[in-house]
Amino acid sequence: MQLNRPLRIFSGVCVVLALCGAAHATTDLSIVPTPNNVTVGDTFTLDVNLSSDNSDISGFDFEVTFPTFLQVLMVTEEGYFAANGTGISPTIDNMNGVVSSIFDSASMPDDLANPGPDTLVAIQFQAIMTGSGMVAVECDQGNDCADFPMLADNNFNSIPVDSLNPADVMASVPEPSAIVPMIAVLGFLCTRRRKVRATSR
């Protein structure tokens, strides 16, 4: 059975679109998990995850910005690059809310055939005061991503990043509803202790 002309054209367009879609590798950098509701004094960890179907990624270079009601305690490399890279030496600037010079390259880039997600780094934070804001991935040290790509292949060619996904963080003090029962318990214990002392006299 032969297809009529409009149907043949439609079918051809669908095939072309499907092939184009298959040829394009989607690459995302995300801060996870999100959202994050913490209490002042809490420590928690956020990961920078790479999700990609591109098997030629051999290096990364970016910074992570964060609101100053948070402090960074530690940054550790994870996943494929931790096992095959040369290591990271990031610069932590808690006063200005940025971890810069987060970069590494893989010693065996051809082995990075991992659709992901793969964790690049894990960052441990502490909430030091109340506030709300976003933790985000950006080009390293405020550079232009065109000149300083976030991701590169084995020949140092830039690999486009389709989306950068930040994480929301909110730090608050304990709810009054949680404090009142504690006060009531302490009051009960103090009263009981006084009665025990009075009885023993």
Q: How many residues appear in the chain?
A: 201
Please choose, from the candidates 19, 25, 83, the residue with its C-alpha nearest in 3D space to the C-alpha of residue 55.
Answer: 25
CATH code at 25-174: 2.60.40.680
What's residue 145's pLDDT? 76
What's residue 199's pLDDT? 55
What's residue 187's pLDDT? 63
What's residue 4's pLDDT? 55
Measured between alpha carbons, how far is 77 from 89 in angstroms, rounded to an integer?
Answer: 10
Please choose, from the candidates 57, 81, 67, 25, the residue with its C-alpha nearest in 3D space to the C-alpha of residue 150.
Answer: 57
Measured between alpha carbons, how far is 149 from 153 in angstroms, rounded to an integer?
Answer: 10
Pairing between β-strand 98-105 and β-strand 59-65 as defined by DSSP bridges: antiparallel
Segments making up each domain of the chain, as ranges: 25-174
Q: What is the pTM of this model?
A: 0.74
What's residue 135's pLDDT? 98
Whether 168 and 128 have beta carbons less than 8 Å apart is answered as no
Measured between alpha carbons, how far is 92 from 65 in angstroms, rounded to an integer?
Answer: 10
Pairing between β-strand 98-105 and β-strand 91-93 as defined by DSSP bridges: antiparallel
What's residue 117's pLDDT? 78
Q: What is the mean pLDDT of each run of 10 residues along the chain (201 residues)?
A: 46 40 71 94 96 86 97 96 93 97 80 66 97 95 77 89 94 71 56 55 57
What's residue 201's pLDDT? 57
